[in-house]
Amino acid sequence: MSREYLLSLSTAEAQVQALTSLRGIGEWTAHYALMKSLKVPTALPYGDVGLYNALFKVKNLPKKPSRAELNAVFAPFRGWEAYLTLYLWRTLAKR
């Protein structure tokens, strides 16, 4: 599957579906690829442990958030999920 093919798809959901149709590519990998390679601002790497750790640190979440809880945290930033993820990851590097 080529970068050009993925870019030709009309939505990020279609891109995720295309990537996850490949053996060994799960949802996290697909979203991470969209974030880092295709610069898709709505990509949200569900299942990312670093993201959960950052949310625990920043939002003091008592446990791993469910998908619905994660979506609720990101709702005010709809359209910019990948950027918020990057900022949250950066909080882990600060001491």
Q: Which of 27, 48, 77, 84 is catalytic?
A: 48
Residue 77 DSSP one-character state: G
d(CA 67, CA 72): 9
Look at the block and give the residue holding tokens 């950052």.
54
48 is catalytic: yes
| Structure tokens belonging to residue 40 | 């898709």
* Residue 64 · residue 34 · CB < 8 Å: no
Q: Catalytic positions, please?
A: 48
